[in-house]
Amino acid sequence: MNDNKKTFEKSGNDCLLQIQALRQQFYAIFDQLERRTISEIKKGNSSVGMKIEADVGNIDDVTERIKKISDDLNEGDENNEARSYIAFTKCDYMIWKAQVLLEDINSKDTYKMSFKPYKAITEYLSSLELLGDVILKGGEKPLPDTDHVFEVEKHVKHNVKMADDKSNCNISGICRMATGDFLFVDNCNQKIKVLDNNYKVISTCDVPEHPQNVCLIGEREAAVTVNKNSEDRHEIHFFRVRSGTLLKTRSIKLQHECRGLAYKSGNLFITSHTSLHVYNISSGQNRQIYSDETGDYTVHRCAVSPGGSRIYITNYSHDQLITLNKDGTKLFTLTHSGLQNAWDVHVISLGHVFVSCPVLCTVVKVVVVKDGTHTVTPLAGKKEGLTEPKALCFNSSTDTLVVGQFENNIVELKLKR
For the residues 255-279, what does the mean pLDDT come to?
95
Choice between 100 and 167, residue whose per-residue pLDDT is larger: 167
Q: Are strands 345-348 and 330-335 parallel, antiparallel or unpaired?
A: unpaired
| pLDDT interval class at 285 (50, 70, 90) | very high
Do residue 197 and residue 67 come from a single domain?
no
Q: Is the pLDDT of residue 16 over 70?
A: yes
**Most confident stretch, 9-23, 137-151, 390-404:** 390-404
What is the Cα Rg of the chain in Å?
Answer: 35
Both 242 and 186 in a single domain? yes
Full 3-state SS string of the chain: CHHHHHHHHHHHHHHHHHHHHHHHHHHHHHHHHHHHHHHHHHHHHHHHHHHHHHHHHHHHHHHHHHHHHHHHHHHCCCCCHHHHHHHHHHHHHHHHHHHHHHHHHHHCCCCCCCCCCCHHHHHHHHHCCCCCCCCCCCCCCCCCCCCCCCEEEEEEEEECCCCCCCCCCCEEEEEECCCCCEEEEECCCCEEEEECCCCCEEEEEECCCCEEEEEECCCCEEEEEEEEHHHCEEEEEEEEEECCEEEEEEEEECCCCCCCEEEECCEEEEECECEEEEEECCCCCEEEEEECCCCCCCECCEEECCCCCEEEEEECCCCEEEEEECCCCEEEEEECHHHCCCCCEEEECCCEEEEEECCCCEEEEEEECCCCCEEEEEEECHHHCCCCEEEEEEECCCCEEEEEECCCEEEEEEEEC
State the average pLDDT over residues 131-156: 70
Q: Per-residue pLDDT for 127 more than 70?
A: no
Calculate mean pLDDT across residues 247-264: 94
pLDDT of 194 > 80? The answer is yes
201 inside domain: yes
Work out how many domains the chain is built from and give that number.
Answer: 2
Question: The whole model's pTM is what?
Answer: 0.70
How much is the pLDDT for 91? 72
Mean pLDDT of the chain: 86
Say what the pLDDT of residue 111 is.
73
The 10 Å CB-count burial string (b at 16+, else e) for 176-190 is: bbebebbbbbbbbbb
**Domain enclosing residue 224, as ranges:** 151-416
Q: What is the CATH number of the domain that holds 213?
A: 2.120.10.30
In this structure, the number of other CB atoms found within 10 A of the CB of residue 263 comes to 19
Percent of the chain with pLDDT over 70: 86
pLDDT score recorded for residue 156: 94
- Residue 380, pLDDT > 60, answer yes
Same domain (yes/no): 351, 251: yes
Domain contains 386: yes
pLDDT band at 117 (very low <50, low <70, confident <90, very high): confident
Hey, CA dihedral for 364, 292, 359, 184, is it positive or negative? positive
Tell me the mean pLDDT in the region 342-360. 90
Identify whether residues 34 and 164 lie together within a single domain.
no
pLDDT (average), residues 322-329 = 94
Q: Look at residue 57 in the predicted model and tell me its pLDDT.
A: 74
Q: Are residues 207 and 302 located together in one domain of the fold?
A: yes
The verdict on residue 365 lying in a domain is: yes
In a domain, 187, yes or no: yes
Where does a domain end: 90, 116, 142? Answer: 116
Domain boundary, last residue among 71, 92, 116: 116
Please give the pLDDT value at position 223.
Answer: 96
